Amino acid sequence: MRLLIVDDSATMRKIIMRGIRQSGLNVDEFLEAGNGKEALQVLSSNGGVDVILTDVNMPEMNGLELLEALKSSGETKDIPVVMITTEGSEAVVEKAKQLGVSGFIRKPFTPETLSSTLSSVMG
């Protein structure tokens, strides 16, 4: 499995990777990006991934804008996107659902939450 983690905090990207490894999920490769714009560049340069985990509040291009861009492209519209964020407002959740988000994880989280959400999204 290839997984793209999008968060403006390098520390949070490391925590997410550590949590996924601890959970026992079999990930062959982690790709990283610091915002939505970088995520689109990473996908363009490195090919597709199996799942994208993205923060919502980021500079340059936020998680909702990234989700919208992914779902409007034929090449990326089928990649499951999980939002992993402190942002829990109804407005953001509703907007993400309308755009086709596959799952939500709220920070703070446990490795078990990461594992169960990713397993559910991957079917």
Closest approach of Cβ 112 to another protein, in Å? 10
Considering just the CA atoms, what is the radius of gyration of the chain in Å?
13
Q: Which of 47, 72, 77, 88 binds another protein (CB under 8 A)?
A: 88
Strands (E), 64-112: 81-85, 103-106
Is the distance from CB of 77 to CB of 48 less than 8 angstroms? no
Closer to another protein by Cβ: residue 60 or 75: 60
Task: Answer yes or no whether residue 45 interacts with another protein by CB under 8 A.
Answer: no
Q: Is 106 helix (H, G, I), strand (E, B) or coil?
A: strand
Q: Is 86 in the site for another protein (CB under 8 A)?
A: yes
Q: How far is CA 10 from CA 14, 87, 97, in A?
A: 6, 18, 27
Examine residue 14 and tell whether it contacts another protein (CB under 8 A). Answer: yes
Interface ranges with another protein (CB under 8 A): 9-12, 14-15, 18, 57, 59, 85-90, 106-110
